[in-house]
Structure formats: C-alpha cells, structure tokens
C-alpha cells in the first residue's frame, strides 16, 4: 500500500503509483533473479505483486504526475503473505508477515 500524508497529519491512499522491480534470492549459493510484473496502485493504494514469491523484493515506486520515485527493499517469508505500507513523504516503510493461522507480525 502506498499512502500520502499531508502536513496536518491526514493520510490518503495514493492511486496510480507505478510499482516495478525484481525479487532476489539464493539457491545453493547461486543468486536467482525474478522479474516482477509492473503494477499500478488502485484507488485504495494497493497493488498486488504475485511474481517472485521469495527472497527480497527490490521495488521502485513512481508517483503519478510527479518526477518523484523511491526505491524499497522488502523482505519476504517463505510461509507467509507479506504486505508493506509505504508512507510518503515521510519515507516510513512497515512490512507485515501474515501466516496461515492469520497471525501477523511486523518487521
């Protein structure tokens, strides 16, 4: 999820942010790269990235109607659904891991 914050502390979802990147992991000591199909955040600020699936996601977020972009590194867990919330302009990134029994941890 991509969230924009205003100076008065209000937050709103960032629709139309373009997200692209790759996942990187290691198998038997050999680096494996998995391209991630570019996605765009919806009206709720969410984009679903299903490619990759393991390792660390190295993502670039390009904001609409702006020259601003940010690079993010998001770890994943092999037995969990990972979701991350990026807050602009503060740059805060929170990563959550949700396991099959619905317990969610924050990294």
Burial group, residue 57, by CB count within 10 angstroms (0-12, 13-18, 19+)? buried
pLDDT digits (tens, 9 = 90+) for 40-95: 999 988 898 876 667 899 999 998 887 788 999 998 887 788 888 888 878 889 88
pLDDT digits (tens, 9 = 90+) for 17-26: 999 999 998 8
Model confidence, pTM: 0.81
């Amino acid at each position: 999820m991509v969230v924009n914050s205003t100076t008065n502390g209000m937050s709103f979802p960032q629709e139309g942010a373009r997200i692209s990147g790759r996942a990187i992991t290691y198998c038997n000591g050999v680096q494996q790269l998995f391209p991630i199909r570019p996605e765009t955040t919806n009206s709720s600020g969410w984009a679903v990235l299903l490619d990759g699936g393991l390792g660390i996601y190295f993502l670039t977020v390009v904001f609409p109607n702006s020259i601003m972009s940010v690079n993010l590194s998001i770890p994943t867990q092999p037995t969990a659904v990972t979701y991350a919330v990026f807050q602009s302009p503060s740059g805060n990134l929170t990563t959550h891991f949700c396991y099959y029994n619905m317990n969610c941890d924050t990294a």
